Amino acid sequence: MTIQNPDITQDLATVQLDPAQQVELNNLLNECQAHLESCDADLISKAFKLAFLSHKGIVRASGEPYYLHPLEVARIVVKEIGMDDVSVAAALLHDTVEDTEVSLDDIRSEFGPTVAHLIDGMTKISGVFKSKGAKQAETFMKLLLSMAEDLRVVLIKFADRLHNMRTIQHLPRKKQLSIANETMELFAPLAHRFGIYNIKSELEDLSFKTMDPTGYKFIARKLREKKDAREKFISKFLEPVEEQLRASGFKFNVKGRPKHIYSIYRKMTRQQKPFEEIYDLFAIRIILQEPHTKEDCWRVYSFITDSYTPIPERFRDFISVPKANGYQSLHTTVVSSTGQKVEIQIRTEKMDEIAERGFAAHWRYKEGPGKEQDINRFVSWVRDVLDNPRPEAATEFVEDFQLNLYTDEIYVFSPKGELKTLPKGATPIDFAFEIHSEVGERALAAKVNGKIVPLRLRLKSGDQVEIITGKQINLNPDWINDVVTHKARARLRQYIKQKERKVSNEGRQLWNKKADRAGIEISDQELAKVATRLRYSSLQMLFFDIGSGVYDVNKLLKAVKSYMSKGRVDESEARSDLDSPAADHYKIAYDINNIHGGGEGLILNGELTDVRFSFARCCNPIPGDDVVGFISREGDIKIHRVSCKNTRHLIKTDGERIVDVSWARNTGNQFMAAIRIVGEDRVGLVSDISSLISKNLKTNMKSINVTSDSGMFEGTLIIMVDGIGHLEKVIMRLQKVNGIKEVYRYE
């Protein structure tokens, strides 16, 4: 093997490793032999040696030798995903082409075309793009294209991202947030779509831990505090069920583990409930050992319902109708003898492995009858997405693709009884495009369960849908706000852009005629500057407004004359022309960004600063919260809580404007915070709350809003605090007030 780097030109088979590296290689080979069906020791040894030599002298942000990263990625591929020896070799070499002088041709000649293809699929796309976001989107699109040819590409990428997230604490805060946000928005949902539950859950938890460490630690502490009580409850709860199973000759295992931390946090925020009010914090899994079948799962279900009362609306049969990612299991929620709701999942060992490892398990079972079809089902949706009209911008493609990474699904039927799986919230328009693009384009109306309904109706599981079509294309641009599938949105986006181009071309023609009559010659580059001063994001948008009649071409002529004579657009003229949607957007942004706070209490880049800043009203951060700053166009900083729902969007769209900020001690300022309270209504309750906060705790209460119904009350308090500790003290004292059941910070 001839490689440009002179340190690694020797034959890999003759390379002698240090004793420490040899031990690591031996451990990896032992793991491969234990977990893989076959193991080419020579292939893996050569890959390990090249990874070690090519990264020699390079260290990671943690200070560790770089080669340890591909080694750990390979171990994840072996132990936690369970692929094949070719995937292990590719995992060991996945960074060589991108980060060292080893070329793809070198890999191909030494390790063969398959390993080279896998590495190429994971290598970041080269070239210069307009923004970091565009580059990430192009990289992701390339990953999908490679994945459509060989799904091992994305499985190795999951292992790579998982190890990067496990070691993310060594990176600068700004980079941590960017990587965690990308992981939460793309890689965790993609892992879900492939059914790899264990990796999906860990990616979500690690991203959540990075973005909101305070929230993560709170839930983790609560779970630890309840661990002993939880295990004791599960043991007692399962006694009658296990007795029946043993008496009937079943061989089984039981898992009773808490749900992962981010899923609990998501339930708390969605339901606006404190930790104590989330009842399904854990799930019990009854796993039947081979050779038990799916019919045996139903027998186990009958044993459970003999002992406990089921909640009918919480029953799910994913065995008869598997999820789109191949997941199979029976789910039921029952009420225990103490009144606690308990979720139970029933599955076979094979179903459990597929639930945990998703596609990787299908890969392992691919030699079995019908398993090749299972694998094809996994790859068909990727190819289907790539075959649909693809947005011109990679960022738009990724945004549309995310629609396919849904969590909640519904099942609907065609008139002939064909089952279709759609995202929750799907409409007949989505269903029409799922049948065929031409059906979606020509849809006129829909029948759901035999009745004519609007095309924008939200479908429910079990609905039977019939699409009535015409002979001509009947696309409606307004549908873009109603559809939830990639197929429908991609086609509608393409249609809208075609219409916009047509209107923009008409606007350009109107301008050209006007300019010719006035004897004005101006380049598109100069005209784009005029468009910018008129508050338009692009020249294309200006022409679109002219073509659609929103903006008068005579006003543009006036602005161009002013620009050519003075070299600038008069401020009063520009403001008088702020009558387009684009101008409204800029005006609103200007107003918000000119609300400034004081200069105290903010540490920027490790030093106390007097830069102008303000606190975002969407999340009202207070000292002690994990916060991040965003630089506005005017140069001041807007402070958001890291857990704020808008933070992810800002990181994604304007990641370059993130700044690391933290709180200075003893700011001496007061901050607004909201508290939610729920409890039993009684005479004098509001007075007791007011007295406690104002007199006992010496806290300024800005407002209290309480509603009462059927003996229960709900209320929201707005108080002024000096930090997170002050807020927690108020919450703890309120919990002791007679009649109050729930108290928590209100988002």
Distances, alpha carbon 218 to alpha carbons 156, 214, 260, 262, 348, in Å? 32, 6, 13, 11, 35
* Token digits of residue 167: 């070691």
SS3 401: helix
| Alpha carbons 118 and 153: distance in angstroms, whole number | 5
| Alpha carbons 355 and 347: distance in angstroms, whole number | 9
**Region of residue 325 (phi > 0: left; psi between -120 and 50: alpha; otherwise: beta):** alpha
**Region of residue 93 (phi > 0: left; psi between -120 and 50: alpha; otherwise: beta):** alpha
User: How many whole angstroms from its chain centre is CA 525?
Assistant: 38
Helix (H) / strand (E) element for 742: namely strand 740-745
* 98 flagged as catalytic: yes
| Partner residues linked to 721 by β-bridges | 671
In this structure, which long-range contacts are made by residues 108-117, counting pairs with CB atoms below 8 Å and at least 24 apart in sequence?
Answer: 109/1, 110/1, 110/12, 110/46, 110/50, 111/43, 111/46, 111/47, 114/86, 114/150, 115/47, 115/86, 115/89, 115/90, 117/146, 117/149, 117/150, 117/153
DSSP for 185-213 reads IIIHHHHHHTT-HHHHHHHHHHHHHHH-H
| Alpha carbons 416 and 231: distance in angstroms, whole number | 48
Distances, alpha carbon 48 to alpha carbons 14, 79, 661, in Å? 13, 17, 41
* Token digits of residue 519: 């004897």
Are the beta carbons of 177 and 658 closer than 8 angstroms?
A: yes
- Among 40, 99, 681, 742, the active-site one is 99
| Alpha carbons 336 and 324: distance in angstroms, whole number | 32
User: How many whole angstroms from its chain centre is CA 626?
Assistant: 20
DSSP for 420-459 reads EEEETT--HHHHHHHH-HHHHHTEEEEEETTEEE-TTPPP
Which is it for strands 341-348 and 419-423: parallel, antiparallel or unpaired? unpaired
| Alpha carbons 535 and 211: distance in angstroms, whole number | 34
| Alpha carbons 434 and 440: distance in angstroms, whole number | 8
Task: Look up residue 10 and give its DSSP letter.
Answer: S
Which is it for strands 701-709 and 661-663: parallel, antiparallel or unpaired? unpaired
| Alpha carbons 420 and 441: distance in angstroms, whole number | 19
Counting every residue written for the chain, the total comes to: 747
Taking the alpha carbons at both ends of the chain, their separation in whole angstroms is 60
With CA atoms as reference, report the closest residue to 681 among 715, 713, 710.
713
Are the beta carbons of 341 and 331 closer than 8 angstroms?
A: no
10 Å CB burial of residue 684 (0-12, 13-18, 19+) is exposed
- Among 7, 42, 98, 728, the active-site one is 98
Helix (H) / strand (E) element for 255: namely strand 252-258
| Partner residues linked to 602 by β-bridges | 663
10 Å CB burial of residue 630 (0-12, 13-18, 19+) is buried
Backbone dihedral angles phi then psi of residue 183, each to the nearest 5 degrees: -65, -45
| Alpha carbons 659 and 662: distance in angstroms, whole number | 10
Task: Look up residue 55 and give its DSSP letter.
Answer: T
Task: Supply the residues annotated as catalytic.
Answer: 98-99
